[in-house]
Amino acid sequence: MSARAVWEEEPTVAGRLGKPVVLALIALAVAFPLYVVVVTSLSSTEAVTRAGGLVVVPRELTVAAYVQLLSGGVVTRALVISVAITVIGTAFSLGLTVLAAYGLSRPGSLFHRPLLFVVLLTFLFGPGIIPSYLVVNSLGLIDHYASLILPAAISAFNLIVMRSFFMGIPGELIDSARIDGAGEFAILRRIVLPLSKAVVAVVGLFYAVGYWNAFFNALLYINDNSKWPLQMVLRTYIVQQAPLPTGAGGVANVGLGLAPAPGLAIKMAIVVIAIVPVLLVYPFIQRHFQKGVIIGAVKG
């Protein structure tokens, strides 16, 4: 509906004026903090001093903070770790989820119902923090990067979303491929996956955002701070306000002949670095969930 229906009343004055104001305030509530953080991260020492802290009006922008953070040290290392965990974890989770979703999408197959029950039951209760910790510990995964992937690799929700989509693929397509002699793996690769690009993309992006944002598993399982992902760094230096280490192994002091960035700009640059990947994939997520991939699956 892009125009007002003929039977609808004229909008009231309050509605005509109030609605844009409310919408603008809502958008501003989301956008303004992000704006302030970005501007401050790009500000020079002088600009930060003049503003007395966070900078709202941009003046003398510089990328010194980013150069310092990304030329080696704590944040560079955490960034590399987070990117690696996200890429490897997403590939792993997505691959296993696709396989299981297809394996469970043929009603009447052997053990179909009990296996589906095993997946669904994980919705009803969690194993608890301490028993999970003890299992990860006894597998020798403490301080191992695998502890950031394996325990949370499978989201039952994502699996069910994908399975519902696979079940909507016309059975005739699959049956005719089977008559042509295709095995299940070939059917999955040649028939089902090409028809399911959207749902695979959405589920992949959900996994990726999940890995990128994961903080709690690192808190539980990674004691060695040289193995911290970015969210742990963010927590330590921004939320807990620990002083940033400088010099070798910390944050580089100078880079490319730029004046050193103020501490606040460096901190805000860490925040921005944590946001950017989410902003990069966000348009893709948005394009897909507007098609109702998620909602349809939840209802089914």
Partner 1 sequence: MTFRHRLRRDWPLLVMVLPVTVLLGVFHYFPTLGNVIAFQDYSPYAGIRGSEFIGFGNFQRMFAEPAFWQAVANTVTITAVQLVFFFPIPIALALLLNSVLSSKLRNLIQGVVYLPHFFSWVLVVSLFQQMIGGAGLLAQTLRDNGHQAIDLMTKPDTFILLVTAQSVWKDAGWGMIVFLAALSTISPELYESAAADGANRWRRLWHITLPGLRPVIVLLLILRLGDALTVGFEQFILQRSAVGGGAAEVLDTYVYYQGLLVGDFGYGAAAGLFKGVVGLVLVLVANRFAHMVGEQGVYSKS
Within 222-251, which residues bind partner 1 (CB under 8 A)? 231, 234-235, 238-240
DSSP code of residue 226: G
Determine the Cα–Cα distance for residues 144 and 222; give it in Å rounded to an integer.
7
Determine the Cα–Cα distance for residues 215 and 224; give it in Å rounded to an integer.
14
Among 13, 14, 57, 124, binds partner 1 (CB under 8 A): 124
21 binds partner 1 (CB under 8 A): no
155 binds partner 1 (CB under 8 A): no
Among the candidate windows 2-10, 166-174, 192-200, 249-257, which touches partner 1 by CB under 8 A?
Answer: 2-10
Among 16, 17, 22, 175, binds partner 1 (CB under 8 A): 22
Among 48, 69, 188, 266, binds partner 1 (CB under 8 A): 188
Q: Is 236 helix (H, G, I), strand (E, B) or coil?
A: helix
Q: Enumerate residues 6+ apart whose C-beta is below 8 A from 203.
A: 94, 97, 158, 161, 162
The minimum distance between CB 27 and partner 1, in angstroms, equals: 5
Q: Please work out the total of residues on this chain that contact partner 1, with binding judged by CB under 8 A.
A: 95
Residues 70-89 that bind partner 1 (CB under 8 A): none
45 binds partner 1 (CB under 8 A): no
109 binds partner 1 (CB under 8 A): yes
SS percent in the chain: helix, strand, coil, step 5: 70, 0, 30
Among 17, 91, 276, 278, binds partner 1 (CB under 8 A): 278
276 binds partner 1 (CB under 8 A): no
- Backbone φ and ψ for 54, nearest 5 degrees, come out as -65, 145
Helix (H) or strand (E) holding 133: helix 129-138
**Environment class of residue 21 by beta-carbon count within 10 Å: exposed (0-12), middle (13-18) or buried (19+)?**
exposed
Among the candidate windows 73-81, 190-198, 242-250, 273-281, which touches partner 1 by CB under 8 A?
Answer: 273-281
The minimum distance between CB 59 and partner 1, in angstroms, equals: 16
Nearer to partner 1 by Cβ, of 10 and 256: the residue is 10
Determine the Cα–Cα distance for residues 171 and 2; give it in Å rounded to an integer.
38
